[in-house]
């Protein structure tokens, strides 16, 4: 909720969480809520996606929310969007994912977690039941 624009839908830049129905999707949603609930949150939005969501870099205090999601094992580093990230994010996001994988945290507890972009591709081809 913003003072200027009211409620806006945001997509985190550079972090991609599990799709609805995939393993850990509820945990990812709940963790994101816990990060931002009741906190002064700053969003630097720079474009609108095809679903009319604002694509934004989001911070709570000095904490990058996208990186926090990746560190906690609730999001993948969306490397496809690396040109849209800051230098700090381009370095921090893949390292956060590497550490989450190594620590088998969150989604990385699964033997072979399916990236959400792969799940979306399957859904587009009518094979969404294969998303896990």
Flag whether 5 is in a domain. Answer: no
Flag whether 88 is in a domain. Answer: yes
CB 20 within 8 A of CB 74: no
CATH value at residue 24: 2.40.50.90
The whole-number average pLDDT for the span 44-51 is 92
Question: How many domains is the chain partitioned into structurally?
Answer: 1
Q: What is the pLDDT of residue 5?
A: 67
Flag whether 60 is in a domain. Answer: yes
Flag whether 132 is in a domain. Answer: no
User: Which tens digit of pLDDT belongs to each residue from 61-83?
Assistant: 999 999 999 999 999 999 999 99
Flag whether 109 is in a domain. Answer: yes
Structural domain that includes position 44: 10-126
Q: How many CA atoms lie within 13 A of 27 on its CB side?
A: 15
Flag whether 37 is in a domain. Answer: yes
Q: 3 pLDDT exceeds 70?
A: no
Flag whether 46 is in a domain. Answer: yes
Rounded to whole angstroms, how far apart are CA atoms 73 and 96? 9
Flag whether 39 is in a domain. Answer: yes
CB within 8 Å of 98: residues ≥ 6 apart: none
Rounded to whole angstroms, how far apart are CA atoms 48 and 128? 25
Q: 118 pLDDT exceeds 80?
A: yes
Rounded to whole angstroms, how far apart are CA atoms 43 and 36? 11
Share of the chain above pLDDT 70, in %: 95
What's the predicted TM-score (pTM) here? 0.91
Q: What is the pLDDT of residue 8?
A: 81
User: Which tens digit of pLDDT belongs to each residue from 18-45?
Assistant: 999 899 999 999 999 999 998 989 999 9
Rounded to whole angstroms, how far apart are CA atoms 116 and 77? 11
């Amino acid at each position: 909720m913003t003072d200027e624009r009211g409620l806006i839908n945001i997509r985190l830049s550079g972090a991609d969480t599990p799709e609805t129905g995939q393993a850990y999707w509820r945990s990812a949603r709940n963790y994101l809520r816990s990060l931002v609930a009741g906190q002064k949150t700053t969003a630097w939005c720079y474009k609108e996606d095809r679903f009319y969501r604002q694509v934004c870099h989001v911070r709570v205090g000095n904490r990058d929310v996208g990186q926090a999601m990746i560190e906690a094992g609730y999001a993948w580093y969306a490397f496809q969007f690396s040109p849209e990230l800051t230098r700090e994010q381009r370095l921090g996001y893949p390292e956060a994912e590497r550490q989450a994988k190594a620590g088998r945290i969150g989604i990385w507890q699964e033997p072979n977690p399916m990236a959400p972009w792969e799940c979306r591709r399957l859904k587009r081809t009518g094979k969404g039941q294969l998303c896990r």
